[in-house]
Amino acid sequence: MDSATQILEIAERRMRQVGYNAVSYRDIAAEMGVKSASLHYHFPKKEDLGVALVRRYANNFRAHLAASTNGEVDPQTAIAAFVDICRHALTEQHLVCLCAVLGAEAPGLPHPVTIEVKNFFNDNIAWLAARYEALGFKGAIDHARTTLALLEGAMIISVVNDDITIFNAAVKSIQEKLT
Amino acid sequence: MDSATQILEIAERRMRQVGYNAVSYRDIAAEMGVKSASLHYHFPKKEDLGVALVRRYANNFRAHLAASTNGEVDPQTAIAAFVDICRHALTEQHLVCLCAVLGAEAPGLPHPVTIEVKNFFNDNIAWLAARYEALGFKGAIDHARTTLALLEGAMIISVVNDDITIFNAAVKSIQEKLT
DNA sequence: GTCTATAAGATGATAGAC
DNA sequence: GTCTATCATCTTATAGAC
């Protein structure tokens, strides 16, 4: 794993725990065993790191989605795969969605970072909407919107409570509509 | 308005925009026209300010709820009042719930602050659950959980998008279940 | 209650050696 | 690519005068 990737890996995990401003170049460098000046070679400004972080996260998310739904997968299973990505992060890593954290502090982030977060939300609403549409839902776009909002909110509350009960309730609600 | 209240007022608005770590004593003091040292007289440590902030927010939220549902109000109207408090903050002030923001960065906050955030979530889930129960809902507690998660998530995404469409979709989803 | 003054430490960032 | 060295600035926080 090259340095740039390692930086992104560490920064993502930390930001998903404590937010953008609470993560410093020093912290990341210390965990890597290098000096903070080295990070500036790869990401000159923190804004550059933030943008790269969200882009990579969005791409990885899309890749996981594609891997879980390759071949001819029915829309119902595809939506379940979407939910499972969130569940996996929550149960295996105790992490919420990167964009839930950054979205919560969006007005305080460098504008280019906020734009990436916004894109993540809209891209995934569109992805979900296409599946709801394929299932013949009336108001597919609104079902997509509530599904994403529900997952993002439930992840946050679940981590605060250190209890996935609320996430499970959210999943149940999504699944009930699918049947 | 006394100084302590003024500090809380300014700190709340700013933290609901940019998060806990991005708000400094200096910023708040500058907006008040005083020096940052003065703030430490009222709230010696930032953690004290954080705790007071969430407690006041939770109390105000509860007070607004009580004011909107005084007398004999049916549970359906009570839940609608809950939703309207969120809507009002979003449309009139472009602010999300304080606990949505702090919840997103919870593992990085002083522990006493996180506890207050956790209490806010649990208190309001209980409040909503009591209303769903009164309406005869099966799994009232899970309906309460999804309602809160949905509102919190929708507020975040709405602010990022500067568009209340997603919040409106969330409200529609809550209302549909109530009919 | 608010001020001045000050402290110790963190922060993002850069220049230049290796 | 990573290092040392350095920077200006910001951060929370305290002591003591008014």
Q: How much is the pTM?
A: 0.98
Tokens representing residue B160 in the block: 């990022």
The verdict on B60 touching A (C-beta cutoff 8 Å) is no
In b/e form, how buried is each residue of B63-88, taking b as 16+ CB within 10 angstroms? eebeeebeeeeebeebbbbbbebbbe
Nearest Cα of chain A lies from the Cα of B139 at a distance, in angstroms, of 10
The verdict on B100 touching A (C-beta cutoff 8 Å) is yes
The verdict on B105 touching A (C-beta cutoff 8 Å) is yes
Q: What is the DSSP letter of B61?
A: H
- B165-178 and A140-161 are packed helices; what angle lies between their axes, rounded to 10 degrees? 90
* Domains of chain A with CATH codes: 47-178 (1.10.357.10)
Give the mean model confidence (pLDDT) for residues B115-127. Answer: 99
- Is residue B2 a contact partner of residue A91, using CB atoms and an 8 Å limit? no
Q: pLDDT tens digits for chain A (179 residues)?
A: 999 999 999 999 999 999 999 999 999 999 999 999 999 999 999 999 999 999 999 999 999 999 999 888 999 999 999 999 999 999 999 999 999 999 999 999 999 999 999 999 999 999 999 999 999 999 999 999 999 999 999 999 999 999 999 999 999 999 999 98
* pLDDT given at position A55: 99
Spatial distance from the CA of A38 to the C1' of C18 (Å): 14
**Closest nt to residue A22, judged CA to C1':** C11
Distance CA A51, CA B64 (A): 39
| Nearby residues of A1 by Cβ (< 8 Å), 6 or more positions away | A9
* pLDDT given at position A45: 98
